[in-house]
Amino acid sequence: MNDAARAREAFLEMLSVERAASTRTLAAYADDLSDLFGWLTVRGREAMTAQTGDLEAYLADLAARGMAASTAARRLSAIRGFYRFCLEDRRINSDPASSLRGPTRRRALPKLLSEDEVDALFVAAGEVEDAAGARLRCQLETLYAAGLRVSELVSLPIGAARMAKDGAIMLRGKGGKERLAPLTPGACEAIAEYMQVYDAFLPAEGAARDRAAKFLFPARSASGHMTREAFARTLKDLAAAAGLSPAKVSPHVIRHAFATHLLARGADLRAIQKLLGHADLSTTQIYAHVLDERLKQVVNDAHPLAKGR
């Protein structure tokens, strides 16, 4: 019997003796912890050295399996109780479960755009030949190249154009956290082309011009830059021009496309986490579930035995 199994038996004995837990509760908690231990083992982790991120990923996997909220809540209770017991019994030095949150409603899978549909957006953007077209191509290239949040895109400082010459831009995301976002050659070229018509979008003069000149996408707005709503409307117009349903396209859907397309082409999930600026890997894992669902659909649609003989 390994350390984790011995700790589990001691924990269950404590529940029985000190808290008069029922046989049914003890059996349920034993099964809950066995499931966690097995999940960790498959991923090269050990229960007695597991970190908070490991436990968060496990809970995210439970949600992806479609586990009922009541069952997931009981499993979380077992995990919290087990690690609290281990800490108090000096079997571990810190409690990785202390900050775990309770189960929430199962998260809906993101809307998807195929690579062909994204290509259609780029083709449609390339057919707009005025200054607005140059700005739109710059925004679309940058959004898809770096997987930006729409708030990050529209509020890019003018200094991003200088940084883009070196193939990357610095972003300030949620919580003021900064991250470096690599750009594709196409995005760098689109930014350079847009800068040739940049002045066309600056207010004529005065305080509005001074305020707007701080941003890559200036506008006569209270913030000085293009609003999220204005860009979203522009993107929906582009979707219609590309022959796509406007309801299917939004800035956040382009961000989802960035992640799912990278993952489908073999990118590491942790690398995508850093590119997206996610604090927890469990947030990024939704894209793995998206691909799982797509693979299931492929089998259901294309396999010769999917509909029976």
- Which has more pLDDT, 269 or 260? 260
Could you tell me if residue 304 is inside a domain?
Answer: no
262 & 221 share domain: yes
Tell me how far apart the alpha carbons of residues 206 and 186 are, in angstroms, rounded to a whole number: 34
For residue 13, CA distances in Å to 10, 24, 37, 88, 200 come to 5, 14, 18, 15, 74
Same domain, 40 and 177: no
Residue 237 — pLDDT band, cuts 50, 70, 90? very high
- Whether the predicted pLDDT of 304 surpasses 50: no
Candidates 241, 137, 142, 228; CA nearest to 184 is 142
Q: Would residue 252 show up in a list of annotated catalytic residues for this protein?
A: yes
Cα within 13 Å of Cα(162), Cβ side? 5
24 a catalytic residue: no
Residue 271 shares a structural domain with residue 214: yes
Same domain, 268 and 182: yes
**Domain final residue pick, 53, 88, 123:** 88
Question: d(Cα 18, Cα 16) in Å, to the nearest integer?
Answer: 6
Q: CB 82: neighbour CB atoms within 10 A? A: 25
- What does the pLDDT look like over 52-90, one tens digit per residue? 999 999 998 888 888 877 788 889 999 999 999 999 989
Structure tokens at 273: 């986490």
Give the Å distances, CA to CA, from 66 to 62, 105, 159: 7, 10, 45
Considering the domain architecture, whether residues 132 and 274 belong to the same structural domain is answered as yes
Active-site hit among 45, 149, 211, 225: 149
- Name the active-site residue from 43, 107, 165, 174: 174
Residue (of 13, 91, 25, 92) closest to 52 by Cα position: 92
The answer as to whether 100 is a domain residue is no
pLDDT in tens, 177-209: 788 888 999 999 999 999 999 999 999 888 999
Report the pLDDT averaged over residues 44-57: 93
Angle at 50 between CA 10 and CA 35, to 5 degrees: 65
In this structure, the answer to whether residues 165 and 292 fall within a common structural domain is: yes
Candidates 111, 228, 252, 289; catalytic one? 252
Q: Report how many domains make up the chain.
A: 2
Which DSSP helix (H) or strand (E) runs through 85? helix 69-88
3-class secondary structure, 162: helix
Q: Tell me the residue range of the domain where 267 lies.
A: 115-297
pLDDT value of residue 174? 67
Q: Which residue has the tokens 């929430």?
A: 104
Among 83-92, 125-134, 298-307, whose mean pLDDT is lowest?
A: 298-307
Reading the block at residue 18, the tokens are 């000190």
**137 in a structural domain:** yes
Residue 58 annotated as catalytic: no
Q: What is the mean pLDDT of residues 131-148?
A: 93
Residue 193 shares a structural domain with residue 256 = yes
Q: Do 127 and 83 fall into the same domain?
A: no
* Annotated catalytic residue 174: yes
Residues 128 and 165 in one domain: yes
Which whole-number Å values give the CA distances from 120 to 137, 140, 194, 234, in the listed order?
Answer: 13, 12, 20, 15
Buried b (16+ CB within 10 A) or exposed e, 215-240: bbbbbebeebbbbbeebbebbbebbe
State the average pLDDT for the chain: 84
Instruction: Assess contact for 286 and 109: CB atoms under 8 A.
Output: yes
Residue 266 lies in a domain: yes
- Mark which of 88, 123, 157 sits at the end of a domain: 88
Catalytic residue among 137, 255, 256, 261: 255
In a domain, 97, yes or no: no
Element (H, E) at 64: helix 52-64
Does some domain include residue 101?
Answer: no
User: Based on the domain organization, do 186 and 81 belong to the same domain?
Assistant: no
The enclosing domain of 128 has a CATH number of 1.10.443.10
Torsion angle (degrees, nearest 10) of CA 89, 90, 96, 97: 10
The CA-CA-CA angle for residues 113, 115, 117, to 5°, reads: 60
Please tell me which of 108-122, 204-218, 275-289 the model is most confident about, judged by mean pLDDT.
204-218
CATH at residue 42 = 1.10.150.130
Together in a domain, 83 and 127: no
Residue at 99 is within a domain:
no
Residue 244 lies in a domain: yes
Task: Find the mean pLDDT for residues 21-37.
Answer: 91
Among the listed ranges 155-159, 222-226, 229-233, 274-278, which one has the minimum average pLDDT value? 274-278
pTM of the model: 0.58
- Asked about 256 being catalytic, the answer comes back as no
Residues 201 and 263 in one domain: yes
Domain edge (last residue) among 71, 88, 105: 88
Per 3-state DSSP, the chain is made up of helix, strand and coil in percentages (nearest 5) of 65, 5, 30
